[in-house]
A and B are shown apart, each in its own frame.
Chain A
Amino acid sequence: MSATRAEIAVVAVAELFRGDGEIVASPMGLIPSLGAKLARLTFEPDLLLSDGEAYLVDENGVVEGWQPFRKMLDTIVPHGRRHVVMGANQIDRYGNQNISAIGDHARPKKQLLGVRGAPGNTANHRTSYWVPRHSKRVFVDAVDVVSGVGYDNAAKAGLKFHDVHRVVTNLGVFDFATPDHTMRAVSLHPGVTAAEVAQASGFEIDCGGAPVSREPTAEELRLIREVLDPKGLGDKEVPS
């Protein structure tokens, strides 16, 4: 019973929350949500999970708290006890992320969502990213519109709570734990080579010595397949 690429990614996202304890996990999208729930069901049972609306819910969907959008922005985000996993239309080597627009902000070629909460998230608490299709379109030399703040801009702005943690993609897990805070591989998913990562990235990513991303345990696979994602929706987002 070998794991699919999507299941490897779900476990990699779950691992983002290891050690987080009793904080609010805010996963955006399917794979991040599956990962956060898996973490809660296994090694991080104290995580608080948002349902994406006004509720905090336990693993069975029982409401255990009220967190409307205004409370989120007034207190949860600035207070800092939160770990968000956001998407990224573009991301660069320092972890600057763009979800606002493609092209010049004043006259974009393509308007996207807007910066949403990315500037505040990256100024206040731990932020990770999930990219389902690792490609040169997403992994760019410089993002067009800095929404989530990367290490270089955070240093210039003096952001004392800046904490861009990791980027999980369909190819691997990446962090910024290099002397100049540029992206490097933490692990590559089973079957992925450094050449494949280089081919899919618009900047150089150090993959030297990166181990293979861990496989789900038998219990994790059971939880993903029987409890969290019985319809296999994750496999549609991340083909093997």
Chain B
Amino acid sequence: MADKRMTADEVAAEIRDGMTIGIGGWGSRRKPMALVRALLRTPVRDLTVVSYGGPDVGLLCAAGKVRRVVFGFVTLDSIPFDPWFGRARETGAIEVTEYDEGMFGAALSAAAQRLPFLPMRAGLGSEVMRANPGLRTVRSPYADGEELVAVPAQELDVALVHLNRADARGNAQYLGPDPYFDDLFCLAAKKRFVSVEKVVGTAELTAGGPVQSLLLNRSAVDGVVAAPRGAHFTTAVPDYGRDERFQKHYVDSAKDLDAWPGFVDRFLSGDERTYLSEVDKFEAEAA
């Protein structure tokens, strides 16, 4: 019986230059930030990042680890724009594949179902078709003959997601209201790593929430990382909400190239324990 527990640094060490990594969550919600922070501490580069983007995308761009972003949006929700993603786009530092939100989900679904593509209407007539000249359309073989977008499967080398609870074998549970697309990210990936607020005994999973909250079964998970506050500063309700004060500090620092090295030194150059203790000090100073 496999015990799949590992550390965030062990997960990060699995990621190689040039890989395509999918990051779960949505905007500034339930992002696997502890895993992202571990990735920032590695020398890895040239990543293709596939994300309903939030600060995960911004931080990876800031660290120069990104070659391409596959996205439908990048937002911090309560703050509309991520400064580092904006800077990376406006300086031409990264390439992008920009999709409609639904197309993005269809691309993961196609990969999860081992299909080469899924048809849909979203994207037709929009910049999505012009900006992605490799996109093809497909004509319905039935009487309607409608022409649709053939959204290509988005396969992933690695998926990183953050949930609320898991057992050591990789059965994983979300306790908030929205599963986002985390199960699809895992099904679309060759290697799947889940960080959680707390690793618990299997019986505690269904004691803590309805069976429908068990989003991932262990066949879709290769590694489990115990990462309390591992989504900080994004939300991981009901364990905690977004740290709006810290998010604003991130944005203010990211907007100011003179301030940014100080943010990196204080919060990102040490390990996760240092990060969380510096966040606690920051909160105490600000209170």
Q: Which residues of A contact B (CB under 8 A)?
A: 53-55, 66, 68-70, 73-74, 77-78, 100-101, 105-120, 122-124, 145-149, 153-154, 156-162
Residues of B within 8 A of A (CB): 26, 52-53, 71-75, 80-81, 85-86, 89-90, 92, 98-103, 105, 109, 120-128, 130-131, 146-147, 176-181, 184
With the chains together, A78 CA to B120 CA distance in Å?
9
Query: Which of B124, B176, B177 lies in contact with A119, CB distance below 8 A?
Result: B124
A151's nearest neighbour on chain B, judged by CB, is B125
In chain B, what residue has the closest Cβ to A97?
B126
Contact assessment for A114 and B121 in the assembled complex, using a CB-CB cutoff below 8 Å: no
A156 touches B120 (CB 8 A): no
A101 to B90, CA, bound (A): 10
Query: Given A73-B105, A120-B103, A161-B121, is A115 in contact with B85 using a C-beta cutoff of 8 Å?
Result: no
Question: Chain B residue with minimal CB distance to A158?
Answer: B147
Among A69, A77, A113, A114, the one with the most B-chain Cβ atoms within 10 Å of its Cβ is A114
B74 pairs with A113, CB closer than 8 A: yes
Bound together, the chains give a CA A193 to CA B107 distance in angstroms of 48
Alpha-carbon separation in the docked complex, A148 to B128 (Å): 10
Q: How far is the CA of A54 from the CA of B29 in the complex (A)?
A: 12
3 smallest A-B Cβ distances: which pairs? A120-B122, A157-B125, A54-B177
Are A115 and B72 CB-contacts (below 8 A) given A73-B102, A109-B90? yes
> How would you classify the secondary structure of chain A's contact residues: helix, strand, loop or mixed?
mixed
Residue pair B125, A153 in contact (C-beta under 8 Å): yes
B126 A153 Cβ-Cβ under 8 A: yes
Q: How far is the CB of B230 from chain A (nearest CB, A)?
A: 21
Other A-B pairs, 5, CB within 8 Å; known A110-B90, A122-B125, A147-B127: A53-B177, A107-B90, A119-B100, A120-B123, A153-B125
Chain B residues with CB under 8 Å of A114's CB are: 53, 71-75, 98
Pick the contact of A159: B53, B80, B102, B121 (CB < 8 A).
Answer: B121
Q: Separation in Å of the B108 CB from the closest CB of chain A?
A: 10
Residue of A nearest to B88 (CB): A111
Given the complex, which residues of B lie within 8 Å of A147, measured CB to CB? 126-127
Alpha-carbon distance between A74 and B74 when the two chains are bound, in angstroms: 20
Q: Judge whether B98 and A115 touch: CB under 8 Å.
A: yes
CB pairs A–B below 8 angstroms (26 shown): A54-B176, A54-B177, A54-B178, A55-B177, A68-B180, A69-B101, A69-B178, A69-B180, A101-B89, A106-B131, A110-B90, A113-B73, A114-B71, A115-B98, A115-B128, A119-B124, A120-B122, A123-B123, A146-B127, A147-B126, A147-B127, A149-B125, A153-B126, A158-B146, A161-B121, A162-B125
Q: Which of B74, B125, B184 contacts A156 (CB 8 A)?
A: B125
A53 to B30, CA, bound (A): 13
Interchain CB contact under 8 A, B100 and A115 = yes
Which residues of chain A are within 8 angstroms of B146 by Cβ–Cβ distance? Answer: 158, 160
Given known contacts A153-B126, A160-B146, A120 and B178 CB-to-CB distance under 8 angstroms: no
Evaluate contact between B72 and A117: CB separation under 8 angstroms.
yes
Distance (whole angstroms) from the CB of B264 to the closest CB of chain A? 22
